[in-house]
C-alpha cells in the first residue's frame, strides 16, 4: 500500500463547457484546468514521511470496515457535516454572497443523496451500483477575509493561514473547512480546486476551490469532497491496471474529457464517465457508487479518521 500511495501522479481537467461568459472570457480556452489534489498529496508525502504510514493505517481500517459489511448506519441515518466557508477576496465581486454559498451546499446535498437532477440519464448498466452516500452538508460559519495584496494564489496552502493572508482552519476534526480564493493559475492553466486526503496535517485539512467554480451549478466541490473523504480518481491515476480501491468502478485508461457519449469503452469495459470522481463536464457527472459510498463512510466509522465529525 505504501508503494501505491507514493506513486500517485498529477491530474488535469478541461475547461467547464458552460462557464458564464463574463467568467469564461478571462480564461484561455486552449488552457487546461487542473485538479491539484494528487499533486498536493505527492508534495505532502515528500515533506512529511509520517503521512504515508497514517494513510496506510486508514486504508487498513477502510478494508476492515468494508470486509465486515456492517453498513446499517448508511440506511438508517444521515451523517451531517458542518461546513466553515473561508471566503478570501480582493474585490467586492469576489466576496461571494451567502446565497451562492448556500447554492453550493444545496449542490453537495443533491450529489451525496442521489438527487442530482441529471441522474435520470444514468445507463441501466450502472443502475445497480448507484449509491445514496447519506451525507448532509450544512453551513456552520462564514469567515470573510479581504486581502488587497493577493490577486492569485498558489496551491501551497497559504490561504489556510491567517499569518499568510488567508484564514486559519476552524476545528477541522469536526468541521469541513472550505476555502474559496479568487484564482489559482498554474503553469499554463488554472486550478479549479484541491483537497487534502485523510491523514494529513489538521491545520491544512479541507478543500480549496477557485471562486469561479463555486455555486449550485458546479461540481468541483463534490469532486474535491470525494477526495477529502478518501476517494481516488476513478481511473486510479494510472492506466488500465491502476486501482481506485473501489470494487464497482470499471477500470479506465485515463480521465474523461468533455461530455462523453455512452458507451465509451476502455480496458475491456464501458467507462463510468458520469462518476463524480472522473473529469467529465459538470453537467455530465451525477453519481457515486456503492463501493465509493462504503469507502467514504469508513472514515466516519468507529476508529475512522473523521469519526469525531459524525458524532
* Beta strands 269-270; 265-266: pairing state: antiparallel
Instruction: Cell numbers for 41, please give them.
Output: 498529496
> How confident is the model over 239-288, as pLDDT tens digits?
999 999 999 999 999 999 999 999 999 999 999 999 999 999 999 999 99
Query: Residue 208 belongs to a domain with what CATH number?
Result: 3.40.390.10
Is residue 265, in this structure, part of any structural domain at all? no
Query: Measured between alpha carbons, how far is 221 from 214 in angstroms, rounded to an integer?
Result: 7
Longest dimension (CA), the chain: 52
Q: Print the domain residue range for 73.
A: 10-229+290-310
Best CA proximity match to 88, nearest among 186, 195, 169, 187: 169
Is residue 52, in this structure, part of any structural domain at all? yes
How many domains is the chain built from?
Answer: 1
> How confident is the model over 9-35, as pLDDT tens digits?
334 333 333 444 434 433 433 345 579
Instruction: Compute the Cα dihedral for 127, 245, 233, 243 and give only its sign.
Output: negative
Please give the chain's pLDDT, 311 residues, in tens.
Answer: 433 433 333 343 333 334 444 344 334 333 455 799 999 999 999 999 999 999 999 999 999 999 988 665 554 578 999 999 999 999 999 999 999 999 999 999 999 999 999 999 999 999 999 999 999 999 999 999 999 999 999 999 999 999 999 999 999 999 999 999 999 998 888 999 999 999 999 999 999 999 999 999 999 999 999 999 999 999 999 999 999 999 999 999 999 999 999 999 999 999 999 999 999 999 999 999 999 999 999 999 999 999 999 87
The residues facing 181 across adjacent strands are: 210
Is residue 240, in this structure, part of any structural domain at all? no
The residues facing 275 across adjacent strands are: 287
- pTM, two decimal places: 0.90
Is residue 244, in this structure, part of any structural domain at all? no
Is residue 294, in this structure, part of any structural domain at all? yes
Ramachandran region of residue 134, left (φ > 0), alpha (ψ -120 to 50) or beta? left
* Beta strands 189-195; 269-270: pairing state: unpaired
Is residue 174, in this structure, part of any structural domain at all? yes
Ramachandran region of residue 12, left (φ > 0), alpha (ψ -120 to 50) or beta? beta
Residue with C-alpha cell 486552449?
A: 30
Is residue 261, in this structure, part of any structural domain at all? no
Residue 128, C-beta contacts closer than 8 angstroms, at least 6 positions apart:
none
Catalytic residues: 224
Is residue 23, in this structure, part of any structural domain at all? yes
Amino acid at each position: 500500500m505504501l508503494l501505491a500511495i507514493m506513486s500517485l501522479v498529477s491530474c488535469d481537467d478541461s475547461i467547464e463547457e458552460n462557464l458564464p461568459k463574463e467568467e469564461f472570457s478571462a480564461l484561455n480556452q486552449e488552457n487546461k484546468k487542473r485538479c491539484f489534489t494528487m499533486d498536493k498529496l505527492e508534495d505532502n508525502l515528500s515533506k512529511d514521511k509520517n503521512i504515508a504510514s497514517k494513510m496506510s493505517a486508514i486504508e487498513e481500517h477502510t478494508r476492515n470496515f468494508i470486509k465486515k459489511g456492517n453498513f446499517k448506519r448508511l440506511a438508517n441515518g444521515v451523517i451531517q457535516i458542518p461546513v466553515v466557508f473561508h471566503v478570501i477576496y480582493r474585490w467586492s465581486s469576489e466576496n461571494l454572497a451567502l446565497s451562492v454559498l448556500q447554492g453550493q451546499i444545496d449542490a453537495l446535498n443533491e450529489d451525496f443523496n442521489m438527487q442530482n437532477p441529471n441522474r435520470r440519464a444514468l445507463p441501466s448498466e450502472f443502475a445497480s451500483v448507484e449509491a445514496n452516500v447519506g451525507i448532509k452538508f450544512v453551513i456552520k460559519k462564514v469567515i470573510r477575509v479581504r486581502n488587497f495584496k493577493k490577486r492569485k494564489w498558489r496551491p501551497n496552502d497559504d490561504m489556510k493561514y491567517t499569518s499568510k493572508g488567508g484564514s486559519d482552519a476552524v476545528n477541522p476534526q469536526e468541521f469541513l473547512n472550505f476555502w474559496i480564493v479568487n484564482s489559482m493559475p498554474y503553469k499554463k492553466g488554472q486550478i479549479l480546486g484541491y483537497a487534502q486526503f485523510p491523514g494529513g496535517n489538521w491545520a491544512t485539512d479541507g478543500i480549496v476551490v477557485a471562486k469561479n467554480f463555486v455555486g449550485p451549478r458546479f461540481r468541483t466541490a463534490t469532486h474535491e469532497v470525494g477526495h477529502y473523504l478518501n476517494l481516488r480518481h476513478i481511473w486510479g491515476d494510472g492506466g488500465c491496471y491502476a486501482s481506485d480501491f473501489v470494487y464497482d468502478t470499471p477500470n479506465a485508461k485515463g480521465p474523461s474529457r468533455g461530455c462523453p457519449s455512452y458507451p465509451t469503452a476502455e480496458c475491456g469495459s464501458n467507462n463510468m464517465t458520469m462518476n463524480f470522481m472522473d473529469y467529465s463536464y459538470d453537467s455530465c457527472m451525477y453519481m457515486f457508487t456503492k463501493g465509493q459510498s462504503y469507502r467514504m463512510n469508513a472514515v466516519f466509522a468507529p476508529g475512522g479518521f473523521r469519526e469525531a465529525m459524525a458524532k
